[in-house]
Amino acid sequence: MSDDSSVKLYSQRDDWADVQPLEQYEGVTPLVPIFYSEPYKDASGYLRAIVQSQEKSHRVLELTEFIIRQNPGHYTAWQYRWQTLNAINSPLDVELKLMDELAAKYLKTYQVWHHRRLLVTALRKPLAELDFISVVLEQDTKNYHTWSYRQWLLSYFDRPEEDCEGKDVLWDGELAFAEKMVREDIRNNSAWHHRFFVVFREKKEIPEDVVKREIQYTKEMISVAPNNASSWNYLRGVLDRTGTPYHSVKEFVELYTVNRYEGSDDDVLDVSNPGPQRGSHLPAIPAVEFLADILEQEGGANIPKAIEIWKNLGNDLDKVRKNYWDFRIRDARPAT
């Protein structure tokens, strides 16, 4: 919150002389009062007065913008601004341009994105938004609000009842976009999540060629960074979503559970099961965990083998999560 003493207070402005500001009601003398800057405290008093009188005008837009720039999380200012925009028929495309600045400046403020959602819902031009989001993600590639907004945009304007500009091509570049984001940062869990969102957005049965493509793609990414939990979680998600048994990737997983990968340049390259790159830190804990899950899913005589792996994880490879591995052991023992 800015406390720029050079800002002219609303109480000093002739164009606001007709408004009597309302002080914030404290009830009692607060033990630990919030230290508001004088410009913010002054403007907030005028906002409370405006809300009480229900004035909606261009000067109210100026007032709410000033408060929002001081405190972008002020939901009352945002809500009253939206009501004012509609009441005076202010051009929403101009407001969207302002949001281009504020969304980029206050990336992690929920209210900014909610206000933008209201604007785009009214303007019904989602294609340009995808370009804007791509630019914003360059600042923070893992920002939850930005990714969430992108997925809302795709889902909302893809509804059968929607008839908006660019609907027929809205999803066309999304898989390539997600792949680009993963390529730039293979550990970007948000990018992996978006790929899953794009590939499996429809609840109908997934074509076999798509399943094979996703499994192969994930294997290749795992070979680049064997200890990256994001890619292993994605592989698990693909198998779970498509009902593919874990043991179908057992041969691949075992390559990453050894202390040292013994592949050599003379080996015939198995493109369907790429091994870890040279210098990779092995065994990869996510792979060891995955192997135990495969054995547990196979059941029977393989349950004790899974328990031994969990013991090894808790006592040696992954001591930080020892309590979790002990839980897995206790949970599995009744089935032995």
Which residues belong to the active site? Answer: 108
Rg (CA), the chain: 28
- Three-state SS across 145-208? HHHHHHHHHHHHCCCCCCCCCCHHHCCCCHHHHHHHHHHHCCCCHHHHHHHHHHHCCCCCCCCH
Cα–Cα distance between 155 and 166 in angstroms, integer?
Answer: 14
Let me know: does 42 contact 79? Beta carbons within 8 Å: no
Cα–Cα distance between 175 and 172 in angstroms, integer?
Answer: 8
Cα–Cα distance between 109 and 101 in angstroms, integer?
Answer: 13
Let me know: does 292 contact 317? Beta carbons within 8 Å: no
Tell me the DSSP string of 29-88: --SS-----HHHHHHHHHHHHHHHHT--SHHHHHHHHHHHHH-TT-HHHHHHHHHHHHHT
Phi/psi at 157 (nearest 5 deg)?
Answer: -85, 0
Cα–Cα distance between 286 and 232 in angstroms, integer?
Answer: 7
Cis ω on the peptide bond leading into residue 72 (within 30° of 0)? no
Let me know: does 305 contact 312? Beta carbons within 8 Å: no
Cα–Cα distance between 61 and 45 in angstroms, integer?
Answer: 15
Cα–Cα distance between 221 and 229 in angstroms, integer?
Answer: 11
Cα–Cα distance between 227 and 178 in angstroms, integer?
Answer: 20
